[in-house]
Amino acid sequence: MSPATARILRLLMELRRMGVSDSRTLAALERVPREQFVADPFLDQAFENTALPIGCGQTISQPLVVALMTQALEVGERMKVLEVGTGSGYQSAVLAQLCRRLYSIERHKPLLAQAETRFRRLRLHNITARLGDGSRGWPEQAPFDRIMVTCAAPDIPPTLVDQLKPDGIMVLPLGDVGGIDQELVRITKTPDGIDIHPFLPVRFVPLVEGLPEE
């Protein structure tokens, strides 16, 4: 067994102990080489259960958060998924293992370019990514079976709820954009509105409208 294989298996065992029980989620995490999404100065921490900086004031989430968000989203193999916040592309790559088509939006041009390079290198041909304001969703491709938001919003974005299919699920961090009081929530769209289920305290960067100045 190679050192890299041993490290990923050790990480997966840790995630199982911490509540990740879905076999498809764990298999997706095992297939995605996290070290290819981590900046060179942090390669020695690629298999640790920790968040790491990726530039532009953003982070690659800790594997536990990626796993629990993915598990809560309940992605089926024929589903069309929207991701708001491509970042390093790690969460995108995990979702791409599970769905038919992933659409991902990133507001930082350098991060988007790096992520798309990684997708090509890993031959993840079912991901379409673009530069844009994630708070507006992707109306041309709506509705979506599932939506994942990887940045914190103070309130549930109604535009994104509108782009969910009936019985669709959205997972996002909700709460104080300063990161002090945030919680991951699972939202299910019902005929009567939405059901909201909080499931994990977290700390994410904020969901920001518009694009950064060059």
Q: Give the closest residue to 186 by CA, choosing from 175, 176, 173.
A: 173
What are 165's two structure tokens? Answer: 């299919």
Positive/negative CA dihedral, 125, 52, 146, 27: positive
Rounded-to-integer distance, Cα 190 and Cα 170, Å: 12
Determine the pLDDT at residue 212: 65
Determine the pLDDT at residue 213: 61
Give the model confidence (pLDDT) of 52-101 as tens digits. 999 888 889 999 999 999 999 999 999 999 999 999 999 999 999 999 99
- Strands laid side by side in the 193-202 sheet: 127-131, 101-106, 80-84, 144-149, 164-175, 182-190, 193-202
Q: Which domains does the chain have, with CATH numbers?
A: 3-202 (3.40.50.150)
**pLDDT values of the chain reduced to their tens digit, one per residue, 214 residues:** 777 788 889 999 999 999 999 999 999 999 999 999 998 999 999 999 999 999 888 889 999 999 999 999 999 999 999 999 999 999 999 999 999 999 999 999 999 999 999 999 999 999 999 999 999 999 999 999 999 999 888 899 999 999 999 999 999 999 876 656 889 999 999 999 999 999 888 877 777 766 666 5
Among residues 61, 88, 92, 104, which one is catalytic? 61
Residue 61 is a catalytic residue: yes
Rounded-to-integer distance, Cα 34 and Cα 55, Å: 16
